[in-house]
Amino acid sequence: MLPARVDELERIQLELELVRREQATEQLRHLLAEEESAQQSLSRRIEERLGPRRREIERLRLEIERLEQRLERLSFFGRTLTDEELDQEEEAARAEEAAFWAEWRSQRAERRGVRAEMIRSNGHDDIILRQIYRALARIVHPDLAHNQHDRAQREKLMRLANSAREAGDIDQLRRLLAIWSRPEEGERPLDIDALRARIAQCRVEYAEIRRQLSQLRQTVVGRLLRMGERDINQYIRAEEVRLGRELAMQRLRRRRALRLFEERKRSLSVPASE
């Protein structure tokens, strides 16, 4: 029996290396999908506990801002204004601000050589969103699974894709598509240079997925997942206390702003009554 040619041995070694790297990349993809799914679940749990207080704080912040703006207008005009006049002033200010930013966006788009209409919501993003979602679904749909474990992983990924679609998050869908896109199916390349190129591509894909997984794990939610149930509950309770203090402070600021507003209105109405 003649010994195998050197280039044939190298080709076999490269094929084995490619298989090993593809398997490692696939395993890392599943780890990333599991991490994203777990973080979404924990984020929903945290939002259920903390969301109402956060929204109330934001509502109070906007109300305080509105009262402060009304107080500024009273001071500017130097006379008492009716609620209707204040509403008209606010509407005019909002319209002026909206016109300014619309003009700014239009000029920026023109400088970049992009049609200004694309800055506005005209359905273009919806088309892109659907196209990316469909492309991703063709790759990872659960019906394409080879076994039960594969199906479970695909179902997790589709839940992530569905959440991104519902949120209109094009960037997230693009990222998922980039991570989970596979090379075109077919026979493995027999050419040594092609094998080397595929291996290099696998290295890049693996490094990118590992980077994204590392970034996810370094987020607040990612760190909480590593800490355990006790630490998660402690974090939520601490946030509830912090938000409770913030809520109390915003309520105090609202009362103060309302008092100043009413005092200013009364002071401006005194000369008229005399």
Checking if the pLDDT of 64 tops 80, the result is yes
- CA proximity to 257, closest of 47, 24, 62: 62
Q: Give the number of domains in the chain.
A: 1
Asked whether residue 31 is domain-assigned, the answer is no
- CA proximity to 210, closest of 19, 53, 24: 24
Contact 70, 261 (CB under 8 A): yes
pLDDT mean over 230-243: 94
Confidence of residue 251 (pLDDT cuts 50, 70, 90): very high
What is the per-residue pLDDT for 118? 43
Contact 105, 148 (CB under 8 A): no
Asked whether residue 253 is domain-assigned, the answer is yes
Asked whether residue 110 is domain-assigned, the answer is no
Asked whether residue 255 is domain-assigned, the answer is yes
Pick the residue with more confidence: 181 or 47? 47
Confidence of residue 252 (pLDDT cuts 50, 70, 90): very high
Checking if the pLDDT of 70 tops 70, the result is yes
pLDDT digits (tens, 9 = 90+) for 6-49: 577 777 788 888 889 888 988 898 888 889 889 989 999 999 99
Asked whether residue 1 is domain-assigned, the answer is no
Using a pLDDT cut of 70, give the percent of the chain over it. 73
**Dihedral of the CA atoms 250, 254, 255, 261 (nearest 10)?**
160
Mean pLDDT over the full length of the chain: 78
Confidence of residue 95 (pLDDT cuts 50, 70, 90): low
Asked whether residue 180 is domain-assigned, the answer is no
What is the per-residue pLDDT for 49? 93
Asked whether residue 242 is domain-assigned, the answer is yes
What is the per-residue pLDDT for 241? 95
Contacts of 148 (CB under 8 A, 6+ apart): none
Asked whether residue 246 is domain-assigned, the answer is yes
Domain that holds residue 244: 229-274
